């Protein structure tokens, strides 16, 4: 994409307030969970786990309703928050590839209203 094309897309973007509450199938959830396992730790001596959990496991007061949530569990040691942030940043950066893969398989309608 050219720089001018990207610039014009910025003004077409919209904040999403209403989310699709359709659950992902087990294969997709497994694929995402497996992707969590591939993330690198900043500090290998700190045990950490990322999990996909269901809405009935979440006390939702301020968060938006969703069919799935990501929960992070970590040992409480020096640097554990940095470790969590490091891993979540990797997931955020790579999640666009996961979303595009899901869209390519027909699971998401990313191009609606573009």
Q: For every one of its 114 residues, what pLDDT tens digit does the chain have, with 9 covering 90 and above?
A: 566 666 676 676 666 666 678 888 898 889 888 888 889 999 999 999 999 998 888 887 767 788 888 899 999 999 999 999 999 888 888 776 666 666 666 555 544 433
Please indicate, yes or no, if residue 82 is contained in any of the structural domains.
yes
Please indicate, yes or no, if residue 10 is contained in any of the structural domains.
no
> Can you give the residue range of the structural domain that contains 26?
21-104
Q: Is 23:52 a contact under the CB 8 Å cutoff?
A: no
In whole angstroms, what is the distance from residue 1 CA to residue 111 CA?
Answer: 16
Please indicate, yes or no, if residue 11 is contained in any of the structural domains.
no
61-78 burial string, b = 16+ CB within 10 Å, else e?
A: eeeeeeeeeeebebeeee
Please indicate, yes or no, if residue 114 is contained in any of the structural domains.
no
Please indicate, yes or no, if residue 109 is contained in any of the structural domains.
no
Alpha helices in 1-114 (DSSP H): 3-10, 26-37, 80-104
Q: Is 84:43 a contact under the CB 8 Å cutoff?
A: no
> Per the structure, how many domains does the chain have?
1
* pTM above threshold 0.85: no
pLDDT at 81: 95
Please indicate, yes or no, if residue 113 is contained in any of the structural domains.
no
In whole angstroms, what is the distance from residue 35 CA to residue 32 CA?
Answer: 5
And the tokens for 107? 């699971």
Please indicate, yes or no, if residue 60 is contained in any of the structural domains.
yes
pLDDT at 98: 62
Please indicate, yes or no, if residue 62 is contained in any of the structural domains.
yes
């Amino acid at each position: 994409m050219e720089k001018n094309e990207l610039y014009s897309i910025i003004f077409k973007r919209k904040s999403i307030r209403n989310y699709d509450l359709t659950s992902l199938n087990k294969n997709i959830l497994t694929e995402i969970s497996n992707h969590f396992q591939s993330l690198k730790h900043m500090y290998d001596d700190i045990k950490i786990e990322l999990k996909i959990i269901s809405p009935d496991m979440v006390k939702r007061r301020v968060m938006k309703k969703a069919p799935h949530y990501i929960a992070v569990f970590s040992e409480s040691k020096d640097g554990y928050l940095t470790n969590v942030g490091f891993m979540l940043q990797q997931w955020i950066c790579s999640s666009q590839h996961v979303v595009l893969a899901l869209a390519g398989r027909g699971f998401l309608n990313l191009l609606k209203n573009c």
